[in-house]
Structure 1
Amino acid sequence: MKPEISKEMVFHYFEGRATAFQKELIEGWARESVNFEQFFVWLQEWENKNLQYASDVEVGIARHRNRMNDQNRNSANPSSQPGEVAGRNRFLRSIHTSWLVAASLLIVMLAAGLLFKDLIRYQTYTTDYGEIRRLQLPDGSKVVLNANSSLRVPRFGFGADTREVHLRGEANFAVEHTPSHQRFVVKTEKNFNVEVLGTEFNVYARPLANARVVLNKGKILLNYQKDHQIQKLLMKPGDLVTVDARGRAEQQKTANPQKYSAWKVHRFVFEKTSLKEVCALFKESFGLQVSIPDNNLAQLTISGSFTAINAEELLDILTEDSGLTYSRQKDGSVIIRASP
């Protein structure tokens, strides 16, 4: 029968006081997936009770220089023997070198600790090009993550202390309302965030394009930054808001908000969408570089609903229906031209 792993034993491990046998037991226990979450819960609890020492490098350098100056003044004393002075200087150089090495190691350890702390605090869900992923968060909210996207969710206290997530890319949210009316906040890197209580909406926050929020059900509060000031915009079902890089928001109504999340079932809906915009979609969703050398052709628009699982299927459908042709290049990219 394996000895039970207790919190006290794990705390001793964090403090470096565990025996070799206990260390081996705990490390084997922590490697098992069923214990992974508990290990990080106890680690965070231990860290909160044992704040790590952060060195003041400037104070340390000043203190060290004072010690050096005192030693130099003593070395100038004629009563000191030449051999004693030389030995003392070698000793001081040794201390100086050791202190620099220790300080460098401490700085590296602190930097690594900050990075590792983020890995401990957050669970990050990601999707590859062409991949769609469905998630259920601890509070019961459901998320569909589009291709080439990531969602960062707190590992601890989600649904109790906070319901704040960080999105890069595109996702569709169906947020569960809580008895305490706790707000659910979607933060992005596009200078805006979305606050909700319980609703369904789609957030598009790609790096190289205007941000977009579409509301299907309920109400949401859109917070965005314009001229270094936070602006608030209340959205109702059917509202479509785009926010550009300068923080300018444009609000309009859409009769069919569901089409903006049709990607959840691999369906692509276009309404007078330029071929240039379609090329951007291939890059965002499939990682495929598609170009149209003819600028006039690139400005032509297409409309329709198309279902495709991968980039090849979508290319075939779009070119056949539009009287176009495409060719693959040696580097894997695609060029679209008008059919001869």
Structure 2
Amino acid sequence: MKDPISKELIFNYFSGNATALEKDLIDRWTTDSQAREQLFIWLVEWENQNIQYNANVDLAINRHFTRMDEQPAKTWDEPAAAQPMRRLHVQGKSWLIAAAVTLLVLAGGWLTRDHLRYEIYTTGFGQIERLTLPDGSKVVLNANSTLRVPRFGFGKTTRDVYMTGEADFAITHTANHQKFIVHTEKNFEVEVLGTEFNVYARPRRSRVVLNKGKVKLHYLKGSESDQIVMRPGDLVTFDAPGHASVRKTTNPANYSAWKAHRFVFENESLREICDLFEDNFGLKIQIPDSTLAAQTVSGSFTALNAEELFEILADDSGLSYSRSEDGKVITLDY
């Protein structure tokens, strides 16, 4: 008998086109752990084939210049008829209105300048986006993160990108050995030629994990600049003042497991896990008891969203919790 669950059915389900009967069939199928693993494998494949829509600003700009080129040029052979000069009387506080309008126009130009200079990719809470840059390098942008890529000259005169949040990089090596540099707002940058690494630059903490190749990490040590040459398996973390520490990790790929909706914790405190919920999902979890907050968790957990991950962790640890009336804050207790 043919297996009623197929990749075609699951892809149809991810697209939102499954019938109520098919959804019920999938719900019963995913009670098996092996079936859940297969579901997540197909989910990653489906996400790779169905990239989220991004506005094509480059195309819009090209259209704009095309329209300008197609407009007939003005001829200046015959002077236009003289128009009577009108005198503008500005009374009272009207000049303030004019000045305010001017400032708004200038401010708008300043705010949109970044969008003209950079292709900007942004993810919301709980979102993951996969990107292929013009030089062939691949980036997976984690939730609540931003990546800015220069529109002009990228891959020719520069391979500098600017990020906040967390991203996983697989950098293409170029024939001219051009450097690829990831800039962060945390007083450090990563310089590479061709390699795979993960950059985490959140407000509370920062780290860089190297999977393959070799990178050079530039950072501020007090008021002076310093650098670290990283080898595969190196994990560099920065504390709040910006001090760097280096250690080896036997499984660097675990730090990028979120790309497949898998969360791997190695003696992570509950407080640190709560920070992850706030950074990635916008969900605030309070732990009034400091002893409980210091307890550690280890293991690998697969979940599609914050609700599912939280329920798994709460069930495994045997902890109780309560929600605020608006549902935005969870308090964790014994």
Tell me, yes or no, whether TM beats 0.5. yes
**1:102 Cα offset (Å):** 6.3
Counterparts of 2:56 and 2:160, CA distance in 1: 28
Q: Counterpart of 2:140 in structure 1: which amino acid?
A: V
Q: Counterpart of 2:258 in structure 1: which amino acid?
A: W
Which residue in the other structure is 1:196 paired with? 192
Counterparts of 1:146 and 1:33, CA distance in 2: 22
2:325 is the alignment partner of 1:301: no
Q: Counterpart of 1:38 in structure 2: which amino acid?
A: N
Q: 2:264 aligns with which of 269, 294, 305?
A: 269
**1:325 Cα offset (Å):** 2.1
**1:327 Cα offset (Å):** 2.4
Q: 2:129 aligns with which of 127, 133, 137?
A: 133
Q: 2:60 aligns with which of 36, 53, 58?
A: 36
Which residue in the other structure is 1:186 paired with? 182
Q: Counterpart of 1:254 in structure 2: which amino acid?
A: T
Q: 2:112 aligns with which of 110, 116, 129?
A: 116
Larger CA deviation: 282-291 vs 292-301:
292-301
Counterparts of 1:117 and 1:297, CA distance in 2: 47
Larger CA deviation: 280-289 vs 115-124:
115-124
Q: Counterpart of 1:218 in structure 2: which amino acid?
A: G
Identity %: 57
**1:156 Cα offset (Å):** 1.9
TM-score, normalised via structure 2 length: 0.71
Counterparts of 1:250 and 1:145, CA distance in 2: 25
Larger radius of gyration: 1
Which residue in the other structure is 2:316 paired with? 321
Counterparts of 1:236 and 1:41, CA distance in 2: 47
Which residue in the other structure is 1:252 paired with? 247
Which residue in the other structure is 1:52 paired with? none
2:177 is the alignment partner of 1:153: no
Where do 5+ consecutive residues of structure 1 fail to align?
1-30, 44-90
For residues 284-328 of structure 1, give each alpha carbon's deviation from its aligned partner in whole angstroms, at most 9, with x where no partner exists.
Answer: 111111112222111111111110111111111111111212222
Q: Counterpart of 2:114 in structure 1: which amino acid?
A: D
TM-score, normalised via structure 1 length: 0.70
Larger CA deviation: 32-41 vs 276-285:
32-41
Counterparts of 2:56 and 2:192, CA distance in 1: 36
2:299 aligned counterpart, secondary structure = strand
Counterparts of 1:236 and 1:34, CA distance in 2: 37
**1:107 Cα offset (Å):** 4.6
Counterparts of 1:261 and 1:34, CA distance in 2: 31
2:172 aligned counterpart, secondary structure = coil
| CA 1:312–1:101: 2 relative to 1, 3 Å | closer
Aligned residues: CA RMSD? 2.7
2:250 aligned counterpart, secondary structure = coil
**1:112 Cα offset (Å):** 2.7
2:326 is the alignment partner of 1:334: no
**1:95 Cα offset (Å):** 10
Which is richer in helix? 1
| CA 1:264–1:124: 2 relative to 1, 3 Å | same
**1:273 Cα offset (Å):** 1.0
Contact 1:190 1:245 in 2 (8 A): no
Q: Which runs of 4+ in 1 moved over 3 A?
A: 31-35, 39-43, 93-111
Counterparts of 1:237 and 1:324, CA distance in 2: 37
Counterparts of 2:267 and 2:56, CA distance in 1: 53
